[in-house]
Copies of this chain bind each other. A is one copy, B any other.
């Protein structure tokens, strides 16, 4: 783990310790916590004391004293000339790798469902640096504009915005209807647009309103882990459907399987980036019609498209009105905003709005009003245009660096849109073990096998997020990655030893 990641992690833990303890005790507890819970793995380098003291805003001598205490207690070890490290004797499997549903169930008293949710959790604690996928570069977000727009809404005269709201803020739904008309050729009434707190909630609402426990859902395989977790937590039975160079292949689905729901990302399949062909789209709609199934179309990163020819939405192609369209602002605004929206067919408008109010209660009209202004005043389009240029350059740099360092070892997928490039290995390699190895050196990526329903049967590879990596850091980060791949290839036994599944 590199200094910056480690310092960020330590700061977060430090802030959680009670202030009444004083800074030295707090830092001591935070670090011990990090080591014992293997948030800093054995062998990981600690940030230099100067850097950490700056990060935490405390005296450097305090940091040095705490390091010394933990060295004395055996939590840390120091190597002359190269710094301070987490003691190797504490090296162990990260808890995420060792978690088992059964043991969690017994230890904590969680339900079977809860144990499964916690054990399968795929969300990463890392949200910056090379190569965390799905993370935009928030340092280029126009915070000054956003602050002004939000502040303008928080006024006594606008106090109706302090209430729950129902379905979402009218002008935002209008702005989005217009935006979808122009950019996605979708003709929808504002009422069909439901504002939600992120794509996970949107998927959860669809699953609960449209499916009963035990219903079958088709998911692309590989596919988005988050959607899988949410659908699984709703009690759905997930049928993985293979993806090829034309997208999800409905004809590859098991014949007797009649899905109740189909989750698909046709504009840019996640994580492979494949654009679903028109033939496949029509076939999918036909299969859905025959089965009486609903379709969730996840249009997650179509706004960050690097080629001008956008593909139409599945929603617009469906005369049967069985498609529900999901889109998030997380990638194009900032993740912590937690705003997303659903577009639903007319007959679902009322029950979905009711269901949403009932299950989650609505609100956050202040942020929604600011978002409406952000779009109406042109800031949204401007920000998108700017980020598209920036990300395209980063994508190209990553592509070049990988080509020059790992040319024969990987095959590239995607990159037409979005925040990541996907690489499959041409040689047998344990991508999860590789991810563990690179993490220690400060490089985070998501192994491709984790996107499969059964990781043991998935193709090994790397999902590399390039969006939050400045161009000058691209080549050095790829160097680290290449070194780790080399080391992993040389490690015996060479066959894959992936645990779990």
Contact = CB atoms under 8 A, between A and B. Distances in A.
A177 B364 CA distance: 25
Contacts of A104: 351
Contact of A123 (B177, B233, B358): B358
Contacts of A200: 358-361
A139 B159 contact: yes
A231 B23 CA distance: 42
Interface of A: 8, 12, 15-19, 104, 107-115, 117-118, 120-123, 125, 127-128, 135, 138-139, 141, 143-144, 146-147, 150-151, 154-156, 159-166, 170-171, 173-174, 177, 189-191, 197-201, 204, 208-213, 215, 226, 229-230, 233, 235, 260, 292, 294, 322, 330, 334-338, 347-348, 350-351, 354-355, 357-366
B141 A146 contact: no
A463 to B, nearest CB: 17
Chain A to chain B: the 4 pairs with minimum beta-carbon distance, closest first: A15-B170, A336-B363, A114-B209, A162-B334
A120 B358 CA distance: 9
Q: Which of A128, A154, A213, A362 has the most chain B CB within a 10 Å cutoff?
A: A154
Given A226-B361, A348-B108, A163 B114 contact: no
Contacts of A166: 12, 125
A147 B139 contact: no
A162 to B, nearest CB: 4
Nearest to A229: B358
Contacts of A118: 209, 350-351, 354-355, 358
A16 to B, nearest CB: 5
Given A108-B347, A173-B16, A114 B210 contact: yes
A208 B163 contact: no
